[in-house]
């Protein structure tokens, strides 16, 4: 029986055949020849090494970024109030001058005018920095803005409203920085 005959002597079909029978077929290597696995392995290993290197560089860069931003944040926190302090130093100088003037003059009207100028300057300085006074008197009591010191009897239309302000409340850029301490009508 020949090698290429696909039937056996008893007439049944033979499923086995030589997969490399046609060695002249173009475009493919034969399955029983070794594949260049070593070159592929080296190529994959070099790609892994490149990716590891990129990863390590990115991690180092990120660590440097984290340290730098932490330092910048600390510097910002330490000097955050510097701007307001510097602007208030002018007002402090005015207070010192007013104090000297109080000791040397008996003119009450001049003293009142000097004190009023100092108060106006500090108010305008704080307003320039975003500080606003909270209006509370004759408004409805609001637990989000007010702290009730006491309740007193009030006329019918003033129940639940702020009658007096013991301590003013303030906003800084529309955020409450101090609640108003108030007297509420009951």
Higher-confidence position of 167 and 23:
167
Q: Report, as an integer, the average pLDDT of 23-41.
A: 64
Alpha helices in the chain (DSSP H): 37-79, 82-104, 108-128
**pLDDT score of 2:** 46
What are the boundaries of each domain within the chain? 40-80, 82-129, 132-186
**pLDDT score of 35:** 56
**pLDDT score of 19:** 57
Residue 166: C-alpha distances to residues 3, 67, 132 (Å): 113, 47, 17
Is a pLDDT exceeding 90 seen at residue 12?
no
Give residue 162's pLDDT band: very low, low, confident or very high (50, 70, 90): very high
Smallest CA-to-CA distance from 134 within 147, 122, 116 is with 147
Token duo for residue 57: 């560089």
Contact residues for 169 (Cβ-Cβ < 8 A; gap 6+): 133, 134, 136, 145, 146, 176, 178, 179, 180, 181
Do residues 94 and 118 make contact, with C-beta atoms less than 8 angstroms apart? yes
**Tens digit of pLDDT for each residue in 102-158?**
888 888 888 888 889 999 999 999 999 899 999 999 999 999 999 999 999 998 889
Residue 108: C-alpha distances to residues 82, 99, 100, 101, 122 (Å): 35, 13, 14, 11, 21
**pLDDT score of 34:** 54
Tell me which fold the domain 132-186 belongs to: Nucleotide Exchange Factor Grpe; Chain A, domain 2 (2.30.22)
Q: What are phi and psi of 121, to 5 degrees?
A: -65, -40
Alpha-carbon gap, residue 136 to 151, rounded angstroms: 15
Is a pLDDT exceeding 90 seen at residue 166?
yes
**Tens digit of pLDDT for each residue in 51-110?**
999 999 999 999 999 999 999 999 888 887 888 888 889 899 989 988 888 888 888 888
């Amino acid at each position: 029986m020949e090698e290429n005959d696909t039937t056996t002597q008893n007439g049944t079909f033979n499923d086995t055949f030589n997969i490399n029978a046609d060695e002249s077929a173009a475009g493919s290597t034969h399955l029983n020849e070794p594949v260049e696995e070593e070159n592929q392995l080296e190529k994959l290993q070099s790609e892994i090494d490149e990716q590891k290197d990129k990863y390590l560089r990115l991690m180092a860069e990120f660590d440097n970024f984290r340290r730098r931003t932490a330092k910048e944040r600390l510097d910002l926190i330490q000097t955050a109030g510097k701007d307001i302090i510097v602007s208030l130093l002018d007002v402090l100088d005015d207070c010192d001058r007013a104090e000297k003037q109080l000791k040397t003059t008996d003119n009450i009207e001049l003293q009142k005018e000097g004190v009023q100028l100092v108060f106006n300057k500090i108010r305008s300085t704080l307003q320039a920095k975003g500080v606003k006074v909270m209006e509370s008197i004759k408004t409805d009591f609001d637990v989000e803005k007010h702290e009730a010191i006491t309740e007193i009897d009030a006329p019918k239309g003033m129940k639940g409203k702020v009658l007096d302000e013991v301590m003013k409340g303030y906003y800084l850029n529309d955020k409450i920085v101090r609640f108003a301490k108030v007297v509420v009508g009951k």
